[in-house]
Amino acid sequence: MSQFKSEFLAILSERGFIHQISDPEGLDAAAKAGAISGYIGFDATASSLHAGSLVQIMMLRWMQKTGHRPIALMGGGTTKIGDPSFKDESRKLLSVEQIAANLAGIRQVFGKFLSFGAGPTDARMVNNADWLDHLNYIDFLRDYGVHFTINRMLSFDSVKLRLEREQPLTFLEFNYMILQAYDFLELSRRQDCVLQMGGSDQWGNIVNGIELGRRCDQRQLFALTSPLLTTSSGAKMGKTAAGAVWLNADMLSPYDYWQYWRNAEDADVTRFLKLYTELSLAEIARLGALGGAEINEAKKVLATEATAMLHGRAAAEAAAETARRTFEDGQSAAGLPTLTLDLDGGTGLLAAMVAAGFATSNGEARRSIQGGAVRINDEPVADDKLVLTRALLADGAIKLSMGKKKHVLVKPA
RNA sequence: GGGGGAGUGUCCCGAGCGGCAAAGGGGGCGGACUGUAAAUCCGCUGGCUUCGCCUUCGUAGGUUCGAGUCCUACCUCCCCCA
């Protein structure tokens, strides 16, 4: 499996990024022979990417680090259609304004992982709206539609779920795979891009692009997919109870991001270190060998390294220090997320908990209090009618906690 | 076209002879145990101005003191026959 001669594939392989490659020998030879260009598409379905996309981003990063040119494709056009792959029902269509706003949010993150420019291995960012928005329907059908048979498209696993459930798959969505295939063709022509990467759920779509390249331009293109990542207990990467693990700092603080990785399951530590950090495999092997409570050290390294890559070393160290003070010293630490409330007029505890995101309704907050989950300045609270006022301030803030892991500092308005 | 079956707590799956805020799972949250892990055990898991009030069982009507449960129409899906 890892008999790759190119540094690019060898690294991806040994770090666990590879699920399938369309023509492993061919791609390996191409990557060995010289710099190649490869892309991954990101649709603008939310205003930030989340941890589930991190594997893709890391693949682009490794591509660049091993001397190739990564292309981040913004799905400004395809998002208007919506990818139906492996979804059991169609998603709501996003407005054009919404897509533009989401795209702006998503763009930010790439600069932290890739270095952009015009040089041979500088990353590029392109938007498929540039070519998809102005396609002429009839011309497009005549030029490219002839290369796709419905028979074949219906055979893809990605649409089977929908078809088997006899859920409607609209013609609009059905076109998504054609447009994604066309993207690949466009990028091969415009950017000399020969590789498309993505999650394993994208395999069918990518292969369609390879077919199109062969038929239109007699060009050899490649596909490389990463495994669909779940945690050891089966949960999807990047989702927690509180919501998605966003990459944008304004949607998830560096502290909370650090916490997400710190709370990884034991069984995931080695795998995650390989995928989400750039530590050497030897170092990862050492960390992964730690047993019992010592593995917490490995989790801290994972959290700090992963956070440093996204938010910078300083933010990562600060998060680590805040966590250390909070969890290991049991003190309130200044780096905890803060919440500003009116303490002069007083704010009810229930309302404060909802504002802190500890509960979604007063009732839920009340039940948590009755269940003994809530503490103020580390003292358990039993009274759900309590009102937060300045009298509770300690060191300029009130530390409001729920459970062992959720802490917020309430400060006066 | 004909016949039969199904849509349940806006996370999911799923019970429900007319008295139902609705069994049971899963998931999630909290507690205990630990190592900010896993497993296990326990509690919680519609909303509110909470001894009470309000909104929930595909949609809209109807019967009834009272409907998730019965009736009518409609929507969607599954199966059999043509």
Q: How many C-beta atoms surround the C-beta of residue A27 within 10 A?
A: 24
A322 — phi, psi (to 5°)? -60, -45
Residues in Cβ contact with A149 at an 8 Å cutoff, skipping those fewer than 6 apart = none
Q: Report the amino acid identity of residue A220.
A: Q
What is the complex's ipTM, to 2 decimals? 0.84
Q: Which nucleotides of B are covered by protein (CB under 7 A)?
A: 27-32, 34-39, 43-50, 77-79
Residue A224's DSSP bridge partners are: A21, A197
* Distance (Å) of CA A60 to CA A56, A87, A249, A344: 7, 26, 21, 51
Single out the residue of A341, A327, A315 nearest to residue A397, CA to CA.
A341
Extended beta strands in A75-188, E state: 124-127
Tokens of A34: 């010289």
Residue that has been written with the tokens 């419905």 in this structure = A150
User: Any atom of strand B under 7 A from CB of A401?
Assistant: no
- The structure tokens listed for A201 are 């759920």
Residues facing residue A399 across a β-bridge: A409
Calculate the angstrom distance between C1' of B58 and CA of A399: 47
Residue-wise pLDDT tens for chain A (413 aa)? Answer: 458 999 999 999 999 999 999 999 999 999 999 999 999 999 988 888 888 889 999 999 999 999 999 999 999 999 988 887 777 666 667 788 889 999 999 999 999 999 999 888 899 999 999 999 999 999 999 999 999 988 788 777 777 766 665 566 777 888 888 999 999 999 999 999 999 999 888 888 999 999 999 999 999 999 999 987 766 665 666 665 456 788 999 888 899 999 999 999 898 899 999 999 999 999 999 999 998 889 999 999 999 999 999 999 999 999 999 999 999 887 767 788 889 999 998 899 999 999 998 998 999 999 999 888 999 998 899 888 899 999 999 888 999 999 999 999 999 98
As a rounded value in angstroms, the CA-to-C1' distance for A364 and B44 is 9
Nearest nucleotide (CA of A242 to C1'): B28
